[in-house]
Amino acid sequence: MKKRLTLFYASDIHGSERVFRKFLRAAPHYRADAVVFGGDITGKALVPIVEVGPGRFRGELLGIAHDVDAGAGLDGLESKIRTNGFYPYRTTADEVARMSADPAYLRSVFSRVMAQTAERWVTLADEQLRAAGVPALMMPGNDDEPEVKRLLAQGEWIVDAEGRIVELEGYQVASYGYATTTPWHSPREVTEEAMAEALDALLAGIDPSRPVIFNFHDPPNDSGLDLAHKLTVDLRVQSGAGMPLLSSVGSRSVRAVIERVQPVLSLHGHIHESRASTRIGRTLAVNPGSVYGEGTLQGVLITLEAGKVVGHQFVSG
């Protein structure tokens, strides 16, 4: 076991190229020994850039129409779109009309764009993290299509850690990226019962005599790491007197296994607005939150010594 291990953990990058690139540089920047990614790598929205003439393109970003020429102008517009965590998509007016009218076709476009981006990112991560000599454990989250897991598994340096126990400098890291049911019916959701079964199966392989780290996308219920905006049935944030109402939406199964196994550290994401840490028994549980849409990488640095957490620091880089 390494005498002192500093981990950098982040999750919920959601397609923001700028934030992903920061993640790749986080270890040397913060002098961390390894990086762990907690899921949800793919974006949620796509901005069509329509070719309106030879070498001439038009895209609308946040209500502002942009007419640009191929080359630097187009690259700049795509960069702005990616900074917001959206996918730029070069297309035609006819295809935009089809995407509007045909949900199945829109899904296929999304899948293709997400896969292309994820594949490119895996290559980028392999190159940069290998060059820096930084071990990297990755996994998909509940918002990632199943295809993303296959692409992460193709990484030559990065490790798709989901669904197994991975050794990291003497620590056993158990990872699981699914979440319990949400109002949005995202691609990788399970019931509490299925979550409990999956975690039990995963943790059957740990050696109880050695320290364990959980890397579960879904945070534990009633932990302060799982406070999400309370929503109406039409998905509006419920507020009162100027403040959003919050409710606990984490997984009861995740909490149960933390209480039972008592890992030294439990890493979580999923609930972007619930940046917090807490103790559950002897376990330090953390959720660094996410503001990917602002081009900022939220993460947490955790220092471990002799099988124990000796310090942690939230960062916004």
Partner 1 sequence: MSVQSTSLFQRQATGLVREAGTWSTLIYNINFVSIGLMMLFVLQLEPAFYPGGNMLVSYLMALAVVLPTSFVFAMFAAAMPRSGGDYVYVSRILGPRLGMMSSFINTVWWFIYGGVPSAFFARYGLGPLCRNVGIMSGNQALIDLGAWFVTPEGTIITGILLVTALVVAFSLGLHVYFRVQNALFVVAMVGLAVIGFVLLTGSNEQFQANLATYSGVPNAYQDVIDAATATGFTEAPFSWYWSLIPITWIYLELVFNQSSAYIGGEIKRASRIQLWSMPLTAVICVGVAMLLTWLFQQTIGTTFLGAVSWDAGATIGLSSAPTFSELAAYMSGSTIVAVIVGIGFVFWSYTWLPGQILNASRNLLAYSVDGVFPARFGSVNERYHTPVFSLVIVGLGSIAALIVYATNSDFTTLTGIVAFIVSFIIVSIAAILFPRRKRDVWAASPVAWTWGGLPVISIAGVVSLAALIVTLWVFLNDPLAGVFVLDGFTPHFTDESGALTKDSIRLLITIGTVLSGLVVFEVSRIIRARRGVRLEAAFEEIPVE
| 111-140 positions binding partner 1, by CB under 8 A | none
The smaller minimum CB distance to partner 1, of residues 124 and 165, is found at 124
Q: Which two tokens stand for residue 119?
A: 């594949």
Q: Are 39 and 69 in contact (CB under 8 A)?
A: no
CB atoms within 10 A of CB 61: 16
The smaller minimum CB distance to partner 1, of residues 54 and 63, is found at 63
∠145-147-153 over CA atoms, to 5°? 120
Q: Which of residues 186-215 bind partner 1 (CB under 8 A)?
A: 186-187
> What H or E segment, with its residue span, contains residue 159?
strand 159-160
Q: Which of residues 11-30 bind partner 1 (CB under 8 A)?
A: 14, 18, 21-22, 25-26, 29-30
> How far is it, in rounded angstroms, from Cα 182 to Cα 252?
14
The smaller minimum CB distance to partner 1, of residues 168 and 228, is found at 228
Contact call for residue 3 and partner 1 (CB under 8 A): no
Least gap, CB of 169 to partner 1 (angstroms)? 18
∠162-168-172 over CA atoms, to 5°? 65
Select from 237, 306, 307, 308 the one that contacts partner 1 (CB under 8 A): 237
Least gap, CB of 204 to partner 1 (angstroms)? 28
Select from 231, 252, 261, 262 the one that contacts partner 1 (CB under 8 A): 231
User: Residue 277: phi, psi to the nearest 5?
Assistant: -130, 155
Select from 1, 131, 201, 245 the one that contacts partner 1 (CB under 8 A): 245
Q: Are 138 and 152 in contact (CB under 8 A)?
A: yes
Q: What's the DSSP call for residue 31?
A: T
> How far is it, in rounded angstroms, from Cα 213 to Cα 219?
14
Concatenating the DSSP letter of every residue in 187-233 gives SSEE-HHHHHHHHHHHHTT--TTS-EEEEESSPBTTSSS-EEE-B-T
Select from 37, 110, 121, 178 the one that contacts partner 1 (CB under 8 A): 110
Select from 246, 252, 256, 261 the one that contacts partner 1 (CB under 8 A): 246
Contact call for residue 247 and partner 1 (CB under 8 A): yes
Select from 133, 244, 281, 307 the one that contacts partner 1 (CB under 8 A): 244
Least gap, CB of 185 to partner 1 (angstroms)? 6
Select from 7, 134, 136, 301 the one that contacts partner 1 (CB under 8 A): 301
Mapped onto helix, strand or coil, the DSSP state of residue 152 is: helix
Contact call for residue 222 and partner 1 (CB under 8 A): yes
Q: Which two tokens stand for residue 233?
A: 């049935």
Q: What's the DSSP call for residue 231?
A: B
> How far is it, in rounded angstroms, from Cα 182 to Cα 194?
14
Total of residues contacting partner 1 (CB under 8 A): 82
Q: Which of residues 47-106 bind partner 1 (CB under 8 A)?
A: 47-48, 59-64, 79-81, 83-84, 86, 96-97, 99-100, 103, 106
